[in-house]
Structure 1
Amino acid sequence: MTHDNTSASPRLPTYFISHGGGPWPWMKKEMGPTYDRLEASLADMPRQIGRTPAAILMVSAHWEAPAFTVQGSAKPPMIYDYGGFPPHTYEVHYDSPGSPELAQRVQSLIAAAGLPAQIDPQRGYDHGMFSPMAAIYPKADVPVVQLSLRRGLDPAEHLALGRAIAPLRDENVLIVGSGLSYHNLRNFGPQAHGVSKAFDDWLDAAVVKSTAGERSAQLLQWDSAPAARMAHPREEHLIPLMVAVGAAEGEAGERVYHEDAFMGGLVVSSFRFGG
């Protein structure tokens, strides 16, 4: 992997994307139009970025570790971390290359910020990575390295992680936080419209309409937001947002995907910062 540091290539934005449920790109016959709008928003990211990044660093909601851990394999295997889906979805492949070089760079940046960091040479790709990536870069021709959340899910610590890895944006590496803006599997569908809207309205105000300085302060108090714990009984699908915000602190935010009847009634969003 080569880093592009030329002045002709301005720093890349960061993203927080809603990655959908399970292996949805491989279930279009079963799902019908459910994912059409989310898929279109993900597929539009290369156009928004305006160039092909050297690599993608993806922070997935589906990987937590005692220390911030970077995927170090040159060819990561697949992790089918879902249950109850059709047999063919346990054979899908998203065969993008990894990047041991980028993994070393990421670990060094995190450690330099005084945060615990390690490399896992065996870790594979989970569906928080390969499901959205199947829409973003369907040819799997851009290297992707995953970075874990840290157990405890401390918002401040994940904002600090974002600040630590921000230099990657000037090295043509795209930072993507992959989660869901609403994630309560016990309350999905039309009956969850009200609570998902209440939290989504707060989220949009916090990350888009507030000043960049206010944004981080509000995110630190996210669980005081309207319907916060109804939207996220456990916050692992929200915390990747903190990383995307920390890596673009002080820069503007924009909502790049929004749907008010996802999966029959959920209000969900994705955001881009800077760039």
Structure 2
Amino acid sequence: MTEDSPAAARLPSLYIPHGGGPCFFMPDPQENWAGMAAYLRGLAASLPRRPRAILIVSGHWEAPAFTFTAAEGHPGLIYDYYGFPPETYQLAWPAPGDPALAERGAALLRDAGLPAGLDAGRGFDHGVFVPMKVAFPDSDVPTVQMSLAQGLDPALHLAAGRALAPLRDEGVLVIGSGMSFHNMRGFGNPQAEAPSRAFDEWLGAAATAGAEVRADSLTRWAAAPFARLSHPREEHLLPLMVAAGASDEAGQRDYNELVLGTAISAFRFA
């Protein structure tokens, strides 16, 4: 494989955890978030090359159609978390937008028969700027956020990932930002550990399978062990479908840890 071959140029697609609110930028005496922060800090160095842009889908934005931030300049930040210290509402991550990438992403989806639109007024929510401020602290990589599609159909989000896959050969890092376990009543509850581990084991087997088996498993994710305990609502899991759909290769588990007593994983798709 030569350095300028398509496979050499291709960036992976990622499914990452984005933590809880602005957790990485607050005192953490028990180091609940230390391992996750270390994983995020290492992301850029783990890539085969520096991305020219980032396309990231967060579990915190749903729209009738897949919608892309299309602001000229920096899109701004949405501090969509509540009850945290005042300084966490002053966090900055002034990455530039990329309207051309937004247009390209929407066109790829439309060409695949999927609903897509642009929003020039939308900023980055905390599912974007919190983990990206850790992973790309210089905020110098142009970034576009894509919404989930209302209805949260896993097959539709897998299809969106497949449609967006060509971006990986164009220097774009495709990221799904969520949490592989997302039950607010489960965090810190000892009774949630065993169910979260069971779901995490299933999710790891599904994500690391070949593309066809993976797609079938993820489409039927709600039948997994303790699926609805792990995700009473699946908005934090659906970004995985986009990342997984963007690759024909078996995935690999990139990160795994007990966080607040629950199993959390990240996945990479070459």
TM over 0.5: yes
Structure 1 runs not aligned, ≥5 long:
none
* Inter-partner Cα distance in structure 2 for 1:119 and 1:6: 32
| 1:105, distance to aligned residue in structure 2 (A) | 0.7
* Matched-pair contact (CA < 8 Å) for 1:16–1:179: yes
Query: Which of residues 23, 34, 46 in structure 2 aligns to 1:36?
Result: 34
3-state secondary structure, aligned to 2:256: strand
| 1:160, distance to aligned residue in structure 2 (A) | 0.5
Query: Which of residues 258, 263, 268 in structure 1 aligns to 2:264?
Result: 268
* Inter-partner Cα distance in structure 2 for 1:213 and 1:256: 21
Query: Which of residues 42, 45, 53 in structure 1 aligns to 2:43?
Result: 45
CA-based RMSD of the aligned residues comes to: 1.4
- Verify: 1:200 aligned to 2:200, yes or no: yes
Q: Match of 1:191, as an amino acid?
A: Q
- Verify: 1:173 aligned to 2:172, yes or no: yes
1:105 corresponds in structure 2 to: 104
* Matched-pair contact (CA < 8 Å) for 2:186–2:262: no
| 1:50, distance to aligned residue in structure 2 (A) | 2.7
Q: Match of 2:167, as an amino acid?
A: L
Structure 2 runs not aligned, ≥5 long:
none
* Matched-pair contact (CA < 8 Å) for 1:223–1:229: yes
Q: Match of 2:255, as an amino acid?
A: Y
| 1:42, distance to aligned residue in structure 2 (A) | 1.1
> Normalised by the size of structure 1, how large is the TM-score?
0.93
Q: Match of 2:207, as an amino acid?
A: V
* Matched-pair contact (CA < 8 Å) for 1:25–1:134: no
* Inter-partner Cα distance in structure 1 for 2:28 and 2:264: 21
* Matched-pair contact (CA < 8 Å) for 1:79–1:127: yes
* Inter-partner Cα distance in structure 2 for 1:66 and 1:42: 30
3-state secondary structure, aligned to 1:259: strand
- Verify: 1:230 aligned to 2:229, yes or no: yes
* Inter-partner Cα distance in structure 1 for 2:206 and 2:5: 32
3-state secondary structure, aligned to 1:177: strand
3-state secondary structure, aligned to 1:124: coil
> Normalised by the size of structure 2, how large is the TM-score?
0.95
3-state secondary structure, aligned to 2:148: strand
* Matched-pair contact (CA < 8 Å) for 2:11–2:48: no
2:143 corresponds in structure 1 to: 144
* Inter-partner Cα distance in structure 1 for 2:219 and 2:115: 20
Q: Deviations over 1:71-126 (max 9, x none)?
A: 00121111000101001111111111110111111111111111111100000010
Q: Deviations over 1:128-175 (max 9, x none)?
A: 001110111111111110000000000010000001110000000000
Q: Match of 2:205, as an amino acid?
A: A
* Matched-pair contact (CA < 8 Å) for 1:15–1:244: yes
| 1:25, distance to aligned residue in structure 2 (A) | 2.2
- Verify: 1:58 aligned to 2:81, yes or no: no
